[in-house]
Amino acid sequence: MKRDQAEELRALQDTLYFIGGKWRIPVINSICTGNRRFREIERSIPGITTRMLSKELKDMELNKLVKRTVYSETPVLVEYEPTEYCRTFGKIIREMINWGRAHKRKIAEK
Binding site for a second copy (CB under 8 A): 3, 5, 8-18, 22, 25-26, 29-30, 33, 44-46, 85, 88-89, 91-93, 95-104, 106
Helices (H), 45-89: 50-62, 84-87
Helix (H) or strand (E) holding 79: strand 77-82
Distances in Å between the alpha carbon of 51 and those of 23, 55, 103? 12, 6, 31
Cβ closest to a second copy, residue 5 vs residue 74 = 5
Cβ closest to a second copy, residue 38 vs residue 44 = 44
Distance, CA of 82 to CA of 32 (rounded, Å): 6
The residue type found at 94 is R
Cβ closest to a second copy, residue 30 vs residue 71 = 30
CB of 47 to a second copy, least distance (A): 8
